[in-house]
Amino acid sequence: MNQGTTRQFHCPRCRKPVAWEGNPWRPFCSEKCRLVDLGRWAQEEYVIAGEKVSEEESDNNN
């Protein structure tokens, strides 16, 4: 059993097969895919945070 020498996986964003070993962007294939995914996360967090702030403001008005 000589598996694991050339481990490969598929990038969760573009589904391109990439080598796992020595890949600084894993689990993505490249910096671009990694940044796109991180950006998506940040956007969702921003929306949730904005809603929270609105609620607090309404509370303070009381």
Kindly list the residues in this chain that would bind Zn ion in the complex (CB under 5 A).
Answer: 11, 13-14, 29, 33
- What is the C-alpha end-to-end distance of the chain, expressed in Å? 69
Distance in Å, CB of 34 to Zn ion, minimum? 8
Distance in Å, CB of 42 to Zn ion, minimum? 18
How far is residue 29's CA from residue 19's CA, in Å, rounded to a whole number? 8
For Zn ion, the closer CB: 35 or 49: 35
Which amino acid, 2? N
Distance in Å, CB of 36 to Zn ion, minimum? 8
